[in-house]
Amino acid sequence: MSELKGRKVVLGVTGGVAAYKAAELVRLLGKAGADVHVVLTEGGARFVTAVTFQALSGNRVWTDLWDPRMDNNMAHIDLTRDADAILVAPATADLMAKLAHGLADDLLTTLCLARDCPLLVAPAMNRQMWEHPATRRNGAQLVADGVTLFGPAAGEQACGEVGLGRMLEPEALCEAVIGFFQPKVLAGRRIVMTAGPTFEAIDPVRGITNSSSGKMAYGLARACEQAGAEVTLVSGPVALPVPAGCTRVSVKSALEMREAVFAALPGADVFIGVAAVADYRPANSAEHKIKKSGAEMSITLTPNPDILADVAGLPNPPFCVGFAAESRNLDEYSEGKRKAKKLSLIVGNLVQDGLGGDDNEVVLFDDAGRHPLPKAPKPDVARDIVAHMARLLPKN
Ligand code: C5P
């Protein structure tokens, strides 16, 4: 993935135990395409050496305000001139206090004061330090000054205590940075989505399902959340992590999915049906495991409700988006489903290699016609769908 391609991130590492996680963060940011330049405070250098960060970032590490390597002795200004953001992770209580008061007594604090790019701060400290009124005041002041705080999270701390103050995990921080750079085209929107396959029980251990991986839906939920939406993901059984900031409601069958969708729907602006809902379910699910008899057996199937059509058929429906996976006649079938289910938008794709791949090539159909999107990894396709959907939504 290259979601941070072309972005320069200055990463400030201060003196907290979580500094060891900053090494992994550098690797993840780099993997996402970012050019990472690490600035290490004196305290940070006590936990992890500059050599580690240099090896992982592929860039020189900066520690000293008076570093002679910068020709003009202007490290405090030059380092952030073309940066897209400064991220301080971990940020100690001391660093937050300094930032809140505009102190600039080392390279990192000076860079933060002299910057003309966004400042992102990931606090990491003991829970009592985090809860101290002074830290609360400093945090509130930073937010009022336009600084973005990522976390902290709750959990077990290095000191053995449990509470708020842990730095977000490197994966979550990398996600937060990627999300920070996304245009907030869905700000203030509430979105309900379905995801994954459904599982229609034949008996307590067997069932009918399909090979939907949920990747497209989860990618779309992530893109919607990063575009500023509040997202509820009603998901069939898949082994995928819930995208940061999204709420997952786990279901199995189509009937459970329908019930969960209607429970989540009040107040939603958008409903997106991505799930590969089983068209049929066994008419009777056996209470106990069916024993092998050697004789032929048949299962009577009964049709499932069409969740998307039911939502779109409501008196005041949200903006409804559907997906159509077809093996031929993409335009005809997709457009047919859009009209039949009364959808504002349908995302059609030709399934030649089955469901579950990492890339996707889709065509969007709406009242204005067909809009093919370039074949791309699912996260990129998701962003393109979000951008198109945002343009069609009624103004809020
Ligand atoms: O008709 P088809 O199943 O191909 O339609 C696909 C679209 O309808 C998808 O958006 C899917 O999530 C939705 N759908 C649904 N409930 C069903 C069947 C499909 O919400 N029972």
The CATH number of whichever domain residue 91 belongs to comes to 3.40.50.1950
CATH number at residue 235: 3.40.50.10300
Per-residue pLDDT of 187-208, as tens digits, reads 999 999 999 999 999 999 999 9
Predicted confidence band at 73 (pLDDT cuts at 50, 70, 90)? Answer: low
- Whether 84 is covered by a domain: the verdict is yes
20-41: average pLDDT: 97
Q: 13: Cβ–Cβ under 8 A, 6 or more apart, which residues?
A: 19, 22, 38, 39, 40, 41, 44, 48, 53, 88, 89, 90
Q: Write the residue with the smallest CA distance to atom 1 of ligand 1.
A: 337
* One domain, residues 171 and 195: no
Average pLDDT over residues 25-51: 96
What pLDDT band is residue 157 in, cutting at 50, 70 and 90?
confident
Q: For ligand 1, what atom is nearest to the CA of residue 310? A: 20
Q: Are residues 176 and 195 in the same domain?
A: no
User: What residue numbers bound the domain in which 308 lies?
Assistant: 190-392
Q: Is 136 in the same domain as 208?
A: no
272 lines ligand 1 (CB under 6 A): no
Which domain-ending residue is among 158, 180, 202? 180
- In the chain, what's the furthest Cα-to-Cα distance? 87
| Residue 308 alpha carbon to ligand 1 centre in Å | 6
- Strand-strand pairing, 35-40 and 153-156: unpaired
> Is any ligand 1 atom within 6 A of the Cβ of residue 220?
no
What is the pLDDT confidence band of residue 303, given thresholds at 50, 70 and 90?
A: very high
Give one word for 100, left, alpha or beta, with left for phi > 0 and alpha for psi -120 to 50: alpha
Q: Is it the case that residue 354 has pLDDT exceeding 60?
A: no
- For ligand 1, atom 17, name the residue with the nearest CA: 306
The CB of 236 under 6 Å from ligand 1? The reply is no
Choosing from 112, 117, 159, 174, the catalytic residue is 159
Residue 2 in domain: no
- Using CA atoms in the order 230, 241, 53, 44, what is the torsion angle rounded to 10 degrees? 70
The residue written with tokens 């066994």 in the block is 282
Q: What would the mean pLDDT of 151-172 be, rounded to a whole number?
A: 88
356 falls within a domain: yes
| Per-residue pLDDT band at 272 (split at 50, 70, 90) | very high
Q: Is residue 250 part of a domain?
A: yes
Q: What residue spans of 149-253 are helical by DSSP H? A: 170-180, 215-226
Distance CA(24)–CA(111), nearest Å, equals 23
- The question of whether 159 is a catalytic residue gets the answer yes
Count of the separate structural domains present in the chain:
2
